Amino acid sequence: MIEVKDVYFTYPNNVEALKGVSLNIRKGDFVAIMGQNGAGKTTLVKHFNGLLKPTKGTVTVNGVDTREESVAKLSRGIGFVFQNPDNQLFCETVEEEVAFALRNFGFEDKIIQKRVEWAINLLGLAKHRQSSPFMLSGGERKRVALASVLAWNPDVVILDEPTIGQDYQQKEKLRQFIVQLNAQGKTVVVVTHDVEFVAECNPRVVLMAQGEIVVDGDAKHVLTNAKLVTEASIVPPQISQIFMGLTDLGLPFDIIDVYEARDILLDFLGGDL
Burial letters 8-42, b for 16+ CB under 10 A, else e: ebeeeeeeebbbebebebeeebbbbbbbeeebbbb
Looking at every residue in the chain, the average pLDDT score rounds to: 90
If pLDDT is split at 50, 70 and 90, which confidence band does 50 have? Answer: very high
Give the model's pLDDT for residue 72: 87
Torsion (CA) 36, 180, 2, 65 in degrees, nearest 10:
-110
pLDDT at 226: 80
The 10s digit of each residue's pLDDT in 261-271 is 888 888 888 86
pLDDT at 243 (0 to 100): 83
Give the pLDDT confidence score for residue 247 in this predicted structure.
Answer: 79
CB distance 33 to 191 below 8 Å: yes
Spans of all domains in the chain? 2-236
Predicted model pTM: 0.89
Q: What is d(CA 210, CA 136) in angstroms, rounded to the nearest whole number?
A: 35
CATH 3.40.50.300 fits 2-236, yes or no: yes
**47 neighbors 205 (Cβ within 8 angstroms):** no
- Measured CA to CA, the distance from residue 52 to residue 151 in angstroms comes to 24
Q: Is residue 39 within 8 Å of residue 232, measured between CB atoms?
A: yes
Does residue 91 register a pLDDT over 60? Answer: yes
Mean pLDDT, rounded, for 243-250: 81
Name the pLDDT band for 233 (thresholds 50, 70, 90).
confident
User: Which region among 72-76, 189-193, 231-235 has the lowest average model confidence (pLDDT)?
Assistant: 231-235
pLDDT 10s digits, 157-195: 999 998 887 888 888 888 888 888 899 899 999 999 899
